[in-house]
């Protein structure tokens, strides 16, 4: 059941990079709190971050925000004095984008274990403005806020860092948030490849991805067979945890970042509340998160990692066959099929403007073609007009046009301003 204990949280307009929001505690809290989780998710999933697409301004803001939390908690920079790990991603146009993970270390209390890391991670990127590189399933130009996928998991990583800062374990804990997960698990692959922390020094990894939409107390736990000892350590924890409807899987791989750790020989767990109708859609927004359920999951993560902290030495990694390793919910394929059918129905209702844009002009874009019988022609638009704005939004490039039209259905009415023969002309169009 969706939790409705939401606060009227500010959307962080104008937050400077590296600044900690006023409603996030300035000292570590000794418990995981709904209001702190809300604060993180509402910021990461705000329109200002424009969906946190890989290499975007919004992704940079997200990573700055998370690094500010590491700094506030007094965690150590994990990458040669930096909280950031940079890597490059090629976009669909062939250009290289600068992307960055965040990484920080909470030292353990046992000096003999100082090089044996427990790892807690989750990706902070999402599908941006619907770019196909990152799997956006809405219209190009629509903000895909990704509250569940994966502001929930990245915020969970921050909340666990907050908790363990006041309850340190014997082992050091490496906290990571990944970028470019949506582009193909590229951030975690780069982290492993660059050996920011050598995988040989990792005892176990917990990946939090989409932990925000718990329904009917369901939680998927994957990776229990990724080491010979994992079941023995964690089964008693799960058996003693009441109120969950667990689905367990031994597989160490999934379409998420635990895969790259597993493939590098690290026993890796995966917490996941399954896909839903807002998956990779512009409707994956902060008010829909089950905050109470997410806090319960994070408290389970605390108990799980605390149990693994009892280890002296490493667990035995298990090499699984491809079939054994793929750990996802039994109904995942069925849910995704239903989701694609919903998307197809939505696309069939998408409104069309009926123009092809030409070159960018001062203050707007030249109209190169007007579709016969389309919305633009019926509104009186001509080839050679310069499109200045739609519904008050300036149209200075193709992405601005996509954003202005993104998500609008057939029959939607829009106001248009064009420049024709040196004069501004206001028109109204009905999308088809």
Percent of the chain with pLDDT over 90: 72
Cross-strand pairs, 207: 121, 270
Are 124 and 246 members of one domain?
Answer: yes
Q: Is 267 helix (H, G, I), strand (E, B) or coil?
A: coil
Are 295 and 390 members of one domain?
Answer: no
pLDDT of residue 348: 85
Beta carbons within 10 angstroms of residue 390's beta carbon: 20
> Between residues 16 and 400, which one has the greater pLDDT?
400
Are 220 and 270 members of one domain?
Answer: yes
Are 237 and 361 members of one domain?
Answer: no
pLDDT of residue 263: 98
pLDDT of residue 2: 24
In this model, does residue 156 exceed pLDDT 80? yes
Are 220 and 80 members of one domain?
Answer: yes
pLDDT of residue 26: 64
Are 117 and 59 members of one domain?
Answer: yes
In this model, does residue 158 exceed pLDDT 50? yes
The secondary structure of residue 152, as a DSSP letter, is I
Angle of helix 291-308 relative to helix 230-240, nearest 10 degrees?
A: 140
Q: What is the mean pLDDT of the segment spanning 56-78? A: 97
CATH of the domain at 128: 3.40.630.10
Say how far apart CA 363 and CA 382 lie, in whole Å: 18
In this model, does residue 405 exceed pLDDT 50? yes
pLDDT in tens, 192-248: 999 999 999 999 999 999 999 999 999 999 999 999 999 999 999 999 999 999 999
pLDDT of residue 28: 72
The radius of gyration computed from the CA coordinates of the chain, to the nearest angstrom, equals 23
- Confirm whether 230 is domain-assigned: yes
From the list 169, 417, 128, the residue with the least C-alpha distance to 309 is: 169
pLDDT of residue 71: 98
Percent of the chain with pLDDT over 70: 94
Say how far apart CA 190 and CA 85 lie, in whole Å: 9
> Between residues 134 and 241, which one has the greater pLDDT?
241
Confirm if 121 and 175 have CB atoms less than 8 A apart: yes
Cross-strand pairs, 429: 414
pLDDT of residue 360: 83
In this model, does residue 183 exceed pLDDT 80? yes
From the list 179, 194, 181, the residue with the least C-alpha distance to 98 is: 179
pLDDT in tens, 350-379: 888 988 888 887 788 888 898 989 888 888
pTM of the model: 0.86
Are 326 and 401 members of one domain?
Answer: no
pLDDT of residue 218: 98
Sequence length of the chain is 432
From the list 432, 400, 430, 396, the residue with the least C-alpha distance to 415 is: 430
Is the omega angle on the peptide bond into residue 150 within 30 degrees of 0, that is, cis?
yes
Q: What is the mean pLDDT of the segment spanning 411-427? A: 89
Are 284 and 407 members of one domain?
Answer: no
- Confirm whether 3 is domain-assigned: no
Q: Model confidence at 396, in pLDDT bands (50, 70, 90)? A: confident
From the list 129, 20, 122, the residue with the least C-alpha distance to 68 is: 20
pLDDT of residue 75: 98
The region of weakest confidence among 56-70, 87-101, 269-283 is 87-101
> Between residues 230 and 416, which one has the greater pLDDT?
230
Q: Which two tokens stand for residue 369?
A: 């073609």
In this model, does residue 18 exceed pLDDT 70? no
Are 147 and 231 members of one domain?
Answer: yes
pLDDT of residue 24: 56
pLDDT of residue 9: 32
pLDDT of residue 13: 32
Confirm if 138 and 188 have CB atoms less than 8 A apart: no
Say how far apart CA 148 and CA 256 lie, in whole Å: 14
What's the mean pLDDT when you consider all of the chain? 91
Counting the structural domains of the chain, the total is 2
User: Which structural domain, as residue segments, surrounds residue 375?
Assistant: 355-430
pLDDT of residue 314: 97
Cross-strand pairs, 360: 365
Are 153 and 283 members of one domain?
Answer: yes
Are 266 and 184 members of one domain?
Answer: yes
In this model, does residue 11 exceed pLDDT 60? no
Q: Which two tokens stand for residue 247?
A: 């689905």
In this model, does residue 268 exceed pLDDT 50? yes
Cross-strand pairs, 362: none
Say how far apart CA 151 and CA 148 lie, in whole Å: 6
Are 97 and 241 members of one domain?
Answer: yes
Q: Which two tokens stand for residue 196?
A: 């920011």
């Amino acid at each position: 059941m969706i939790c409705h204990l939401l606060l009227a949280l500010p959307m962080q307009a104008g937050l400077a990079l590296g600044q900690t929001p006023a409603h996030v505690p300035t000292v570590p809290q000794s418990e995981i709190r709904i209001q702190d989780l809300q604060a993180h998710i509402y910021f990461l999933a705000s329109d200002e971050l424009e969906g946190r697409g890989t290499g975007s301004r919004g992704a940079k803001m997200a990573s700055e925000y998370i690094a500010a939390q590491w700094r506030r908690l007094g965690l150590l920079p994990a990458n040669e004095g930096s909280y950031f790990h940079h890597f490059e991603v090629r976009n669909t146009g062939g250009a290289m984008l600068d992307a960055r993970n965040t990484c920080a270390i909470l030292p353990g209390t046992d000096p003999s274990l100082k090089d044996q890391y427990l790892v807690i991670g989750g990706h902070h990127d999402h599908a941006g403005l619907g770019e196909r590189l990152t799997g956006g399933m809405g219209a190009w130009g629509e903000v895909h806020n990704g509250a569940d996928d994966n502001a929930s998991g990245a915020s969970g990583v921050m909340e666990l860092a907050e908790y363990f800062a006041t309850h340190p374990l014997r082992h050091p804990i490496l906290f990571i948030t990944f970028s470019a997960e949506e582009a193909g698990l590229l951030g975690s692959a780069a982290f492993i490849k660059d050996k920011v922390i050598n995988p040989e020094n990792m005892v176990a990894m917990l990946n939090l991805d989409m932990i925000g939409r718990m329904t009917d107390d369901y939680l998927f736990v994957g990776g229990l067979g990724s080491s010979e000892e994992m079941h023995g350590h964690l089964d008693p924890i799960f058996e003693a945890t009441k109120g969950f409807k667990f689905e367990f899987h031994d597989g160490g791989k999934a379409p998420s970042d635990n895969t790259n750790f597993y493939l590098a020989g690290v026993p890796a767990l995966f917490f996941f509340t399954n896909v839903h109708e807002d998956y990779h859609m512009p409707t994956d927004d902060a008010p829909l998160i089950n905050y109470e359920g997410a806090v319960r999951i994070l408290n389970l993560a605390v108990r799980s990692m605390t149990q693994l902290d009892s280890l002296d030495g490493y667990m035995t990694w298990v090499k699984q066959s491809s079939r054994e390793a793929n750990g996802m919910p039994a109904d995942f394929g069925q849910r995704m099929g239903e989701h694609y059918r919903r998307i197809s129905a939505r696309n069939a209702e998408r409104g069309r403007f009926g123009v092809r844009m030409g070159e960018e002009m001062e203050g707007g874009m030249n109209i190169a073609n007007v579709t016969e019988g389309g919305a633009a022609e019926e509104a009186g638009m001509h080839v050679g007009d310069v499109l200045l704005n739609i519904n008050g939004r300036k149209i200075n490039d193709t992405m601005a046009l996509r954003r202005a039209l993104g998500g609008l259905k057939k029959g939607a009415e829009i106001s248009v301003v064009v420049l024709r023969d040196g004069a501004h002309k206001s028109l109204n169009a009905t999308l088809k």
